[in-house]
Structure 1
Amino acid sequence: MSRPLELKSVYNEKDGTPAYLEEQEVSEASQHASRWIAIEPPQSLRNRPRIPHSHSGPPSFRDSQFDVILRRQRMRPTEGGGLKLTALPSRFLNLPNDFEFAGWGSVSRITLDKEDQKAGEERLSEIRGQSVLGQFTASALAGNAVLGSVFYALPAVVAVSSVYSPISLFIATLVLFLWRPIMEELVSALPLSGAPYTYILNVSTKSLALVGAALLLLDFASTAVVSAATAASYLAGEVTLPFPPFVGAISVIVVFTLVSLAGLKESARIALVVLSFHLATMAVLIVSSSIYWGKTGVDQLRDNWYAGSAPSASVAARHIFNGFCLGMLGLTGVECTPSYVGRIKKGQFPLVLRNLHIPAIILNCLIMVMVLAVVPLKAVHEGANVLSVLAQIAAGQWLRTWVVVDAIIVLCGGVFTGIFSACELLEQLALHRVLPKVFLQALPRTKAPYFSVLSFVAFAGVVYASAGADLTVISNMFSLVWLTVMSLFPLALLLLKFSRGRLPRNSSTPLAVVVAAAAVSAVVFAGNIAVDPATAGYFAAYFIGIVTVFTATQNKIHLLRWVYWVYDQYPRLHSWKLTKTWGCKLIDLMTSLKRQPVCILVKTDEINHLFHMILYVRKNEETSCVKMVFFNEGEEGVPSELEANAKILDEAFPEITIDLVIVDAAFEPANVIALSHRLQISTSLMLMTCPGPAFPYSIAELGTRIICL
């Protein structure tokens, strides 16, 4: 029996690459000794005492830990590139194997120059300068949708809850106390725009995050359409329009599309003026109704109670529950606030939630009591515009006209809320390569993302048209969409606590509160379906349609491969000039899409950790090019096994080229952005591990994505 082959560790003096010689090659190497130099152990190991071992067998693991062991790897070009050799055949009949497999990765060391550093500092200043909204302007953006919901939530609640409506609305508005700490913790941990899509993206898979994005987009479209259609309906209930109500709704959307294109600051100020006018109107309405109630006494309230009270306690409880389920619509719009949290000044978000919640409790409950105390129950059920009827009885035509004008204006503000929140979401989807880069284009003067605005308005128009311009259909579907979106917040926080427990945050929500919020969402969702089962069909149709589109855009290369595979099954198509040209263009498109790089920011050389990061990229990003980046700072230097392990992973994933990039700079936001400028890779496509409590920077400043604990 021949003895085991002895491995010699030597370097090639010419190009510095490691050479691995087996026994039969040792004699040849000794004859050309000038071409080879022996490897010396690292300085840290030279002074350590050697542990003697027996010559009767190979060294033990304890013995070999002091030896320098170089892994045998395939020959590859030192400068990177070149085809990875593989025995696996291509699944395509007319394409060589090199289409399936990426090239070899390279190892490089870079220093950020002055141009890169300047770009990083300018971009960081721009990010910090985006936080321009204080508590009142930020509240106004969503406040018109939240506080304007009294115009469509109250009639819906009265229809199912009758005289128990104030109780139902009070319970429904109190439920938001469960969500406020959840949303505050999420925002403090991940102060990123596009939430809860970005929350789920940083704590789970991209596929699950896209489900959340689909729900959000549908919610924002429903907010815009319902607000515009309700405004047109309110106007049609007061005057005879020369055109159908749906034309009025479309006109409202068009007008606020132009307002949105004016830019963020100007739109926020307009929203604040609109909200202030609405609050003043509601205050006058409440005072006038209170005076009228004081003059007329409780007779009307008593008559309404006798006319609408349930025959038994169980029926009354059922009415209250149904009203509670629909009464949650009185809080629609609050889910939009985390979507633009990146624009809100630091520490102001909890105040924004407070500014939206407390007025919602007062307005919904108090006005509902006034309606039952002043307006006959029959008129409440039959009237299209409940609040305008209340204003007519309490103070006369002048207040009714005022309320109608306010309804139209504030509901139009809800249209802007939907448009603005959707633009923030579409921007995030474009940064993550789910949507084309054209969604990032903005007007040079106002910086408004015009393509996102126009695309979203077109989508809202499709939703409205496909529902037959029926406000009832859109409203019923809206209730389920909103509840599903609200359920994403406790889900995201549960995943955050489990998967990203080390992430710094300002508060911690008890687990019981998170579970309670999720349970309430499920109960209210089921209750809304029980009230009107047809709503589930509309919701499912729109939701499946959007998810299908997002899935297709996320898996572009995979779908193109299927298209080419079908084309490849017909050899005759390759002989026709037209189809052959088409096939070549399809190959070029797939190749260009695959070569869009992604960065992973590493801080260790542990191969299991690096493996899981590469595995995340393969499952969640369509790319065959990964830049493994290590910021070399301090005295520790580059981990000893990083280069070797990067090469092993480069060999383990033949479909991905893994380039190791060592950056001689500190790991801080300005340098990360500078590297993004140097490599021409967006920071949103730079993936990192979860920072700990001692991490001094904000995730919002880095702009990176967290993919592992």
Structure 2
Amino acid sequence: MARTTQQNSNESANLLPASSHTYNGNGNTSSISITQAKARGLRNKHFPGLGTYDEHIHVDDVQLSKAAHALERQNHPHEMLGPWMASSICGNDILSSCFYSIGLVTSYAGQLAPLCFLLVGLILYLFRSVYGEAITAIPVNGGTYTLLINTTSKAVAAAAACLSVLAYIATGVVSAVTACNYLHAVLPDLIDVPIAACCLLSLFALVVGMGLKESAGVAMVICAVHVLTFFVLLSLGFLYVIFNNLGELPANLLLPFPDVAVTTAKNGGEIEGAVGAVGEDMLPGSIGTALIFGCAAGLLGVSGFETSSQYVESQKPGVFLLTLKYMQQAVCVFNPLLSLLSIAVLPVPVITAFSQTVLERVAHTIGDWVQATLGLGPHTGPGSTVDFGKFLRIWVSLDAFVVLSGAVLTAYVGIDGLLYSMSMDGCLPSFLLARNAWRGTDHYIILSYLALAISQVLLTGGDVEALAGVYAFSFLGVMALFAAGCAMLKVKRSQLPRDVVAPWSHVIGGGAAVLLAFLVNLQSQSEYLLYFLLYLAGVGMLTFLMFQRVRLLKVLIYFSPPSVAALLVEKLLALRSDRVVFFCKDPKDLYILNKALTYVRANESTVHHVTVVHCRGEGVGQEDGEGKAGAKAVEMIDRMYPAIRVSMVQVHRAFTPEVVEALSKILDVGREHMFISCPDGKHPIDKLRGVRVITH
């Protein structure tokens, strides 16, 4: 590699910021004392100096070959997941959710619960194309966070990530508690549900900490056994319904719809829980309340639909769309049928009373009928050696425990990747990036998740409805933001190629549906809003402090005595030492350059140096007119933003993923600090491995 640099020597005095620092002509700064600055009433601002605009980099063939090998090792094409293994990982999550959602939906919708699950499947059909367009356009791990950070601002993406963190915490805790509820049904004298849930969460923290993350092969076995369990239960249940004159279904259809508790303003606007009389705090049951509140609760049964987007980079081409298809079809088949079976086997009041272990009760009832039908006699009789009801109940309960435990593991894997990405982007403290020297795992992330999850179990006492309320608010918020992100993708990143184009009706309809569900849950589960806000405030405050740490330091400097202020200034200068790279196709375009600098100033408070990189191809001379015009444009932008140093580097290679990888090593800048204007599709964004799209 050959590098040549021509220092710019035209410093302009009128660009210096308020005289708290002066530029000495060689790229360094000299500062007046804090005491002098305060005495003169000046703001203490760091001027990083002007950049260089005529630097050239020649990437040789050896460096390019090393970069190509590095990319090949990162992609691991031989280890990528096929459709069945990839679907099994997220399938365990979404198929396990019916264990705790059927009873909850029935408590709101009564006999219309199966129809509510069908309507939820329709909403997922809308989101199938929404997720398909967004993730095939930006096929990078991270889900909602990655979509929004490439289409909106870093702050919006971080806010969505906070909701995703809460969703992962809640779904992991709900899965752990429900798994232990089903185990408690088998071993009632040995299992204390909250303690067992904490132990289960701790066990999987140890498993993930040892490096044994999600195994696709094991996940596929668990999913296959789980589907077999459902198939056996539905088949025997179908026979039960046929030979028992539709079972409890006719009687349940005649029941009135459940009244729904809502939150209303009373006593001069004070918000109270819904415990009042009918017409005031209780909505009389009707078809409308059953469908609206039932569908809102039914969205809890699609936990895991977003999971596939968290490991899309590990999937073979075209597999992601298949995972969405299989999940949506599974939700439309199993959830309504299992809900219908429960209503046909058990009275609605029983389903509501045992909402946390409904399928265990269904299995026991069907098993007893099978035993009696086969002529084995009562299981308590002296001649009976088979208790098929107990056997089927234990089978379903153990299946629930295993598959829900798999969902806990999936939550750990998902939160690990999300928090690591946020820490790399500066949204969370960098200590979370520390790796365990023994196992190479992110132990601080794992322990942080474990602490938050256990605190949620203890705070709610293992109440699934309370946990479901926290999950509903966070998950629905994430889904709504994803729909908004897809809309932004259509408008602002239309040049990105994609395999699916979601109709605007799907984007608007899906977004409106989850927003309505959010508002409905706000009315019906307002008593759990405090838990949601408590955890959101904790995660959000940490993220806010990370975003505002530079401004907070400046405030502390202003109000601190000189000795302390001097130390804080050193800390501030060390903090504002990051460098980012912006790949620009046409460096003469002042509009694009200005948008890039505006984005950096608004979203990257720790950046003091922006390097504009222009890949101009081979065989172009260093003194051509286009290069000089680009250098002048970058110099103009540099003078417009005195708080950020802007330089230009011209690379004598065509823009390729291999060149990006090589420049990351040459310039010593990580991929998370490399930005680009919207590519034209010649090089898919996933091949650039983490480069962020920040402009049109």
AA in 1 matched with 2:641? F
- Establish whether residue 475 from structure 1 lines up as the match of residue 468 from structure 2: yes
- Establish whether residue 698 from structure 1 lines up as the match of residue 695 from structure 2: no
SS in 2 for 1:414: helix
Change over 3 Å in CA distance of 1:658–1:676 after alignment to 2? same
Change over 3 Å in CA distance of 1:79–1:310 after alignment to 2? closer
AA in 1 matched with 2:345? V
Change over 3 Å in CA distance of 1:95–1:454 after alignment to 2? farther
CA drift of 1:358 comes to 1.2
2:51 paired residue number: 105
In 2, Cα distance between the equivalents of 1:153 and 1:200? 29
CA drift of 1:460 comes to 2.2
2:83 paired residue number: 135
1:615 paired residue number: 598
Unaligned runs of 5+ in 1: 1-14, 21-70, 575-579
Alignment of 1:5-404 (within 5 A): 81-83=27-29, 100-107=46-53, 108-112=55-59, 116-129=63-76, 132-242=80-190, 244-261=192-209, 263=211, 267-308=215-256, 315-383=286-354, 384-395=356-367, 396-404=389-397
Alignment of 1:496-645 (within 5 A): 496-567=489-560, 570-571=561-562, 574=563, 580=564, 583-604=565-586, 605-622=588-605, 623-634=607-618, 638-645=626-633
CA drift of 1:96 comes to 9.4
In 2, Cα distance between the equivalents of 1:222 and 1:19? 58
8 Å contact 2:96–2:407 — kept in the other structure?
yes
Change over 3 Å in CA distance of 1:477–1:254 after alignment to 2? same
In 2, Cα distance between the equivalents of 1:257 and 1:72? 58
CA drift of 1:180 comes to 0.2
8 Å contact 1:172–1:327 — kept in the other structure?
yes
In 1, Cα distance between the equivalents of 2:506 and 2:673? 33
1:658 paired residue number: 646
Larger displacement relative to structure 2 (513-522 or 97-106):
97-106
SS in 2 for 1:666: coil
SS in 2 for 1:639: helix
8 Å contact 2:257–2:290 — kept in the other structure?
no
Larger displacement relative to structure 2 (96-105 or 185-194):
96-105
8 Å contact 2:163–2:477 — kept in the other structure?
yes
CA drift of 1:164 comes to 1.4
In 1, Cα distance between the equivalents of 2:686 and 2:41? 43
In 2, Cα distance between the equivalents of 1:531 and 1:266? 35
8 Å contact 2:109–2:293 — kept in the other structure?
yes
CA drift of 1:402 comes to 0.6
AA in 2 matched with 1:285? L
8 Å contact 1:487–1:518 — kept in the other structure?
yes
- Establish whether residue 494 from structure 1 lines up as the match of residue 501 from structure 2: no
- After TM superposition, the score normalised by the length of structure 2 is 0.84
CA drift of 1:641 comes to 1.4
- After TM superposition, the score normalised by the length of structure 1 is 0.83
AA in 2 matched with 1:194? G
8 Å contact 1:80–1:104 — kept in the other structure?
no
8 Å contact 1:263–1:447 — kept in the other structure?
yes
Change over 3 Å in CA distance of 1:378–1:654 after alignment to 2? closer
Change over 3 Å in CA distance of 1:127–1:91 after alignment to 2? farther
CA drift of 1:441 comes to 4.4
CA drift of 1:640 comes to 2.8
| Structure (1 or 2) with the larger CA radius of gyration | 1
CA drift of 1:588 comes to 2.6
In 1, Cα distance between the equivalents of 2:349 and 2:284? 23
In 2, Cα distance between the equivalents of 1:633 and 1:106? 21
Change over 3 Å in CA distance of 1:272–1:259 after alignment to 2? farther
8 Å contact 1:83–1:104 — kept in the other structure?
no
CA drift of 1:310 comes to 7.6
CA drift of 1:595 comes to 1.1
In 2, Cα distance between the equivalents of 1:479 and 1:560? 37
CA drift of 1:445 comes to 8.1
In 2, Cα distance between the equivalents of 1:439 and 1:606? 39
8 Å contact 2:28–2:49 — kept in the other structure?
yes
Change over 3 Å in CA distance of 1:592–1:299 after alignment to 2? closer
Unaligned runs of 5+ in 2: 1-5, 17-21, 260-282, 368-388
In 2, Cα distance between the equivalents of 1:140 and 1:404? 20
8 Å contact 1:118–1:674 — kept in the other structure?
no
Change over 3 Å in CA distance of 1:19–1:596 after alignment to 2? closer
Q: Deviations over 1:497-529 (max 9, x none)?
A: 111111111221111211111111111112222
1:689 paired residue number: 677
AA in 1 matched with 2:568? L
In 1, Cα distance between the equivalents of 2:139 and 2:404? 28
AA in 1 matched with 2:49? G
Larger displacement relative to structure 2 (554-563 or 514-523):
554-563
CA drift of 1:85 comes to 11
SS in 1 for 2:201: helix
AA in 1 matched with 2:603? N
Change over 3 Å in CA distance of 1:72–1:101 after alignment to 2? closer
8 Å contact 1:624–1:655 — kept in the other structure?
yes
